[in-house]
Structure formats: C-alpha cells, structure tokens
C-alpha cells in the first residue's frame, strides 16, 4: 500500500507525477489545524512536503503516523526539530541547490542599495532626469571595499567567492568555526562580531535563525557599524532587531540596508522601511528563480521518497 503524503505547496507537473507514483497525495494550500479536512489528512499522513508554516509539537501531535517532514528550504526555524526527533520523524531539507542563487541575490542587494539602482531608476520614470546628474545622485563604490560576512556556511562561502574574485573586496567573516580553506582561498580574515561590525563597509547576514542568533544585530551592534556602512540580510529577518534597524537608519547610524527577509513576512505595507530611499527591500526572493525553485522542489520530493523508503543518504537534519 502506498504511503499518504500531505502536500502543502504546488509542485511542477513532472514532480507531482513522480511523487504520486510513490504516494497517495492529499493537497492543501496551507497548514491549518482549523480545518477538519486538513486534520483528518494529517492524522493519516506518513509524509509532509511544503515550505513554511508552524510545525511545532502541537502540530506534530496531530500526526500520529508521520515518518518524515520534507521542507522545500534550507532553513528550518519554523520546525520544532526536537519534537520531531523524539518521535523518530526525519526532517529533510534542500541545502546546496539554492546556494548560488541566494548568493547572487545578496550581491544584487549590495549593488542595488549602494549604487541606488531602484531609487535612481525610479527618478527616470518620474521624469526627474532633465539635465546631467548632480552629486546628490552619486552612489558608493562596492569594489575594493570590505565585506563582513556573518555566517560562513554554504551561502557565506558563495558570497565570498563573488565578492573576492568578482569585486576585489576584502573579506572578513564571523561564524562559530574558523575555516582555513576560506582564509586561504579568499584571503579572508576570521574575526569576532564586534570587529566585523566596526570594519565592514557591507555587513552581510547569512545566518540561520536560532535562539543564539535571534536579535544578534540590535541597537549596540548598529552603534558599532560605520556611518557609511550598509546592512544586507538574506538569512532570517529576526536575526536583526527590526525596530533597532529602523532607528539606526533614521538616526543615520548606518548608510542603508538591503533586505530580503523580515521579522514578520509578508512585510506590512506600512513598515517605515518601505518609505526610506536608502532601503532596498525585496519579498524574500533569495532562491526565487525558475531553475532553483524547480531544483528545490525536486530535491524535496526525492528527499521525502528516500526518507519514507528508509534510504536516506543526504539532506537529513536530525538523523
């Protein structure tokens, strides 16, 4: 008998077919314990596949037959991993396939905010380009500046590669571990957080959200940054204390921010961040290309099939 899989995001047709040849699929738009249909599907499900949602102990208690959760993401801060592990439920994720795309997004944010691309492109559209540009439209150079990378994991390394080889940038980094291959390859310097904040022109966050990283960047940390430095965040929104960020931008403690992630998503249209010219905000598009989203979905389907077949070789978070 086929296992039952609860799917809570759409899949490309070929991947849906692949999964349905292995499992009976019950599809929903979101995870909602308020719906009786959803709860009865969850009560029978062996597998769960989708992205986001709050997969906490209460949710897992509604799934007595669950054997594997396959998230279409590398981050899993929305999942109570301990609760899954206690129940022997595997958590599968999709690292690697999205690394380069997220690093590209971060480099795009670096360039967009420092060279003021969205703001100046908007000026043309508004008919404000009526003569030669004046210094108040000048941006700030990226090449040969110092990039401080917070979190030297897969994405941090891919970002360092772009910044060092593409833009001749100096690389500082902070993570729990010092990596001699990173030091050698990018002529990078491992340092503590304070030094990274004090010396970087671009502070780039590629950290996961954990109890240790929650609000790691707050008022004190902004006060250590250079007034002409930029904050780039594509890790998780809550690594940064957003109120402190807004305050730092208003007080001109820092020059600007490039943000892919926010404490609450979707970001409220009334957020002060959206009325600041020196903020480039994008709607969590780090991995959002056609190619990479397909690769992530494919990886998640393969992960779930492997986990439900007791044939896991990679991409398992907790076993």
Give the interface with ligand NAP as residue ranges (CB under 6 A). Answer: 74-75, 95, 98-99, 102, 151-156, 175-177, 206-210, 212-213, 234-236, 260-261, 284, 286-287
- Name the residue nearer to ligand NAP (CB basis): 175 or 318: 175
Please calculate the CA angle 170-250-238 and round it to the nearest 5 degrees.
65
Residue number with CB closer to ligand NAP (13 or 184): 184
The Cα–Cα gap between 55 and 30 comes to 12
**Minimum distance from residue 193 beta carbon to ligand NAP (Å):** 8
Closest distance of CB 64 from ligand NAP, Å: 29
Residue 3 to residues 136, 209, 217, 311: CA-CA distances in angstroms?
62, 32, 44, 15
- Which residue lies nearer to ligand NAP by CB, 152 or 281? 152
Nearer to ligand NAP, 3 or 258 (CB): 258
Dist. CA 244–CA 250, nearest whole Å: 10
Closest distance to ligand NAP from the beta carbon of 33 (Å): 25
CB of 120 to ligand NAP, least distance (A): 25
Q: Are the C-beta atoms of residues 114 and 167 closer than 8 Å to each other?
A: no
- Report yes or no: 73 and 93 within 8 Å, Cβ to Cβ: yes
Instruction: Please report the DSSP string for 189-236 in residue order.
Output: EE--HHHHHHH-SEEEE-PPP-TTTTT-BSHHHHHHS-TT-EEEE-S-
Would you name the residues annotated as active-site residues?
236, 265, 284
- Residue of this chain nearest to ligand NAP (CB atom): 153
């Amino acid at each position: 008998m086929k296992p039952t899989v609860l799917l809570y995001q759409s899949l490309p047709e070929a991947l849906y077919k692949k999964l349905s040849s292995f499992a009976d699929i019950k599809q929903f738009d979101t995870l909602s314990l308020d719906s009786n249909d959803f709860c009865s599907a969850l009560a029978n499900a062996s597998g769960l596949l989708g992205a986001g949602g709050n997969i906490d102990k209460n949710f897992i208690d509604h799934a007595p037959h669950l054997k594997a959760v396959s998230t279409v993401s590398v981050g899993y801060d929305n999942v109570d991993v301990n609760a899954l592990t206690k129940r022997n439920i595997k958590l599968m994720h999709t690292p690697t396939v999205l690394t380069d795309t997220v690093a590209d997004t971060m480099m795009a944010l670096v360039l967009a905010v420092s060279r003021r691309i969205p703001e100046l492109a908007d000026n043309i559209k508004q008919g404000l380009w009526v003569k030669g540009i004046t210094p108040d439209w000048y941006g700030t150079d990226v090449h040969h500046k110092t990039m401080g990378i917070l979190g030297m994991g897969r994405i941090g390394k891919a970002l360092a590669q772009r910044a060092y080889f593409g833009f001749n940038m100096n690389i500082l980094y902070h993570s729990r571990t010092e990596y001699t291959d990173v030091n050698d390859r990018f002529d990078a310097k491992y340092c503590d957080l304070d030094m990274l904040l004090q010396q970087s022109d671009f502070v780039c966050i590629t950290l996961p959200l954990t109890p240790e990283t929650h609000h790691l960047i707050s008022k004190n940390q902004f006060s250590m940054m250079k007034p002409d430095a930029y904050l780039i965040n594509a890790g998780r929104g809550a690594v940064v204390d957003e109120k402190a960020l807004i305050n730092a931008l208003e007080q001109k403690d820092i020059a600007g921010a490039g943000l892919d992630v926010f404490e609450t998503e979707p970001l409220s249209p009334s957020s002060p961040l959206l009325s600041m010219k020196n903020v480039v905000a994008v709607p969590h598009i780090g991995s959002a290309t056609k190619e990479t989203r397909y690769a992530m979905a494919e990886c998640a389907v393969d992960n779930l099939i492997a986990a439900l077949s007791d044939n896991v070789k990679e991409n398992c978070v907790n076993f």
